[in-house]
Amino acid sequence: MNWYLQSGKDSDVVVSSKINLSRNLAGFPFKLKTQKQIQELEEKIQSKLYAIGYGLKYFSLKNMDDITKVSLVEKKLIPEDYAFDKNCKGSILINDEENICILVNDLDHIEIQVFSSGFDLENTLGLAIEIDQKIESVLGGYAVSEKYGYLTKDPTKCGTALNASVMLNLPALQKTGNLRKVFDAMANFEVNISAFYEENAKQYTDIFRICNQRTIGISEKEIIENLKIIVQKIIEQERKVRRFLAEDSITFSDKIYRSYGILKYCKRISLDEVTEILSYIKMGVDLGILKEVTDLQVQKLYLYTKTANMQKVLGQTYEPKEQEKKRAEVIKQILDGTLNV
């Protein structure tokens, strides 16, 4: 099962953990200006793909259809601007489980991305470093400075060139208006906090991304430890507010079951409505109020109601006016346990 359909540690609040290592290969200019330079880099990586291992497969974005690109964006595996770069110079190395997705020719030569479900920064970092060391040995070394560490196109990313991030689902703090207080308390902890924008739904969600700011003058271990402390505090606050909401059991349960009823019996539904409803569905499942839905079904609802992944699983593309109807059909199949994925 792919990582984004699994439930991990603290997955009632933590959606996923991600480690990103930015690297540039020695012997190549930082900015590849010509098609020849881009081709040389890609050929070098392709020729060593088997030696790198991890079941990685090579895909060029220029040979990828738009639905597939968007499906990868919806899974948060690749950035949208990278997927649809007008020069189509990028490519990815990805394994079948999709917990490893390496971007080639994005901001830097190589962006090593490793994902895991739930709150698991240490193991995710361990795998990322293992892959990093293997790539370095196979491809002949990185651009490194004794003074500045790993060299990147963006000078502020040098040093460890590590971006560690956690995606948090914070519906209780968001809906009660307490989120800003919690984030304000984190202002001096050297982290970036951003709301996740659901592009197709044209709205912000209850999902927030928290990542480190510093990469220079700090070790990988320190980055992870600092981020863990902050995330754990936010988890505690979110759970506290959820328990408070659950104390008004009739009102809260009514909202959850109304949301479930809409999903179960709708004949057509938009992505923005699904996004709002799933916030309550997940809380209901996590608090043990809604027993009719499993964790796995929640994960499938989040993924396969998104426009591109819905069309991928159905094996056909649909006009916008038909998508709401098909989304309702997919929801019914997920809840009935008949969706074949």
DSSP for 43-77, written as a single string: HHHHHTHHHH-TT-EEEEGGGS-HHHHHHHHHTTS
Residue reference for tokens 């929801």:
331
Residue whose C-alpha is closest to residue 46's, from 56, 54, 36: 56
Length of the chain: 341
Report how far apart the first and last C-alpha atoms of the chain are (Å, whole number): 10
Nearest-angstrom CA–CA distance, 232 and 183: 13
Contact between 180 and 193 under an 8 Å Cβ cutoff? The reply is: no
Q: What is the DSSP letter of 240?
A: H
Q: According to DSSP H, which parts of 66-114 are helical?
A: 66-74, 80-83
Residues 6+ away with beta carbon under 8 Å from 169: 12, 13, 14, 15, 206, 207, 238, 279, 282
Q: Per residue of the chain (341 residues), what is the pLDDT tens digit?
A: 899 999 999 999 999 999 999 999 998 888 887 888 888 999 999 999 999 999 999 999 999 999 999 999 999 999 999 999 877 789 999 999 999 999 999 999 999 999 999 999 999 999 999 999 999 999 989 999 988 999 999 888 999 999 999 999 999 998 888 888 888 888 778 888 888 755 554 556 788 999 999 898 899 999 999 999 999 999 999 999 999 988 878 888 999 999 999 999 999 999 989 988 999 999 999 999 999 999 999 999 999 999 999 999 999 999 988 999 999 999 999 999 999 87
Partners of 159 in beta bridges: 149, 150
Nearest-angstrom CA–CA distance, 17 and 139: 27
Centroid of chain to Cα 218: 25
Residue whose C-alpha is closest to residue 48's, from 104, 115, 10, 114: 104
Q: What are phi and psi of 207, to 5 degrees?
A: -95, 135
Residues 6+ away with beta carbon under 8 Å from 126: none
Buried b (16+ CB within 10 A) or exposed e, 70-108: bbbbbbbbbbeebbeeeeebbbbbbeeeebbbbbbbbbb
Model pTM? 0.93
pLDDT tens figures, 207-228: 899 999 989 889 999 999 999 9
